[in-house]
Chains A and B, each alone.
Chain A
């Protein structure tokens, strides 16, 4: 049975869209059929991250308003086999689209896909509720920063009222050097404070930023991809392995790297 998962955060800029794109690629690499749904109507960015912005013919609003069939709006990823994107409308206020409409689209997609990952808009306004009510599970993305964790806590409170099958947290942009220097909270602290099990930890990785901007897939031998792969496996197999963001800063050379980063 298909799993519909909303990727949300409350706070903007924590990496929801980047995570949606890369988690989709991670699941596709495990042989799953995945579709990414951008529900950020009017402020769509998933198409750019997936490098499909020039291929958009129909979007989710066209599907909902019966201007095309769902399959006509799907765009296949050029790299990952079995990965598709259903883009959002680039100029639309979204007032005519409700959670039931999105749920109906998800129900159709559920017949042909294993995973439906829904990229939720930032904030806790109508767009958030629209995306959340259409999904069965939720992943809350946060960074190890006080403002993001605080917003994540509020979002978790709201998600609980939707009777989700599961709610988990992904800690994005974790800095191993700062954690080892006791200058940043680690995933255990975040999970404990939020009272939500951790699904994964993603390190701050320049490659993720750069390649996202280029619309490319993260280099498979990079730290970022390794962490995304661990995350995708946790989601798919139900494991609880956490990527160790501190490992490259441990040992003699690691310590040197950590201290150099501090000086520079």
Chain B
């Protein structure tokens, strides 16, 4: 069972998550656009298939979660040739 101080820490993190997340919409949009540009060099994907989420972890660190789906990978070996 969690102690009360652990529950407090958890609540605090949730509050921080919401607070620190506020106003980061622009940052996420920019990040997503840059990540998409990068990913396009390695896979065939588009904006709808890439998800970018910014979370705050238990330590108060930011955690960026990127998920991307693409129908084909680009053959990097060929590009180097």
Chain A residues with a Cβ under 8 A of chain B: 146, 149-150, 153-154, 179, 182-186, 189, 192-195
Contacts and interface: CB of A to CB of B under 8 A. Distances in A.
Interface stretch (B9-17, B36-44, B69-77): B9-17
22 contacts: A146-B11, A146-B12, A149-B12, A150-B12, A150-B16, A154-B19, A179-B5, A182-B4, A182-B6, A183-B5, A184-B5, A184-B8, A185-B8, A186-B5, A189-B5, A189-B9, A192-B59, A192-B60, A193-B9, A193-B12, A193-B60, A195-B60
Given A150-B15, A193-B12, A193-B13, A183 B4 contact: yes
Contact of B19 (A153, A184, A185): A153
Contacts of B60: 192-195
Nearest to A183: B4
B26 interface: no
Given A193-B60, A194-B60, A185 B11 contact: no
Nearest to B6: A182
Nearest to A179: B5
B3 interface: yes
Given A192-B60, A193-B60, A195-B60, A185 B15 contact: no
Contacts of A195: 60
Interface of B: 3-6, 8-9, 11-13, 15-16, 19-20, 59-60
A224 B52 CA distance: 48
SS class, residues of chain A in contact with chain B? helix
A73 to B, nearest CB: 39
A153 B12 CA distance: 11
Contact of A185 (B12, B20, B59): B12
A153 B4 CA distance: 22
Given A192-B60, A193-B60, A185 B16 contact: no
Contacts of B59: 192
A193 B6 CA distance: 13
A263 to B, nearest CB: 17
Nearest to B59: A192
A154 B18 CA distance: 12
B8 A146 contact: yes
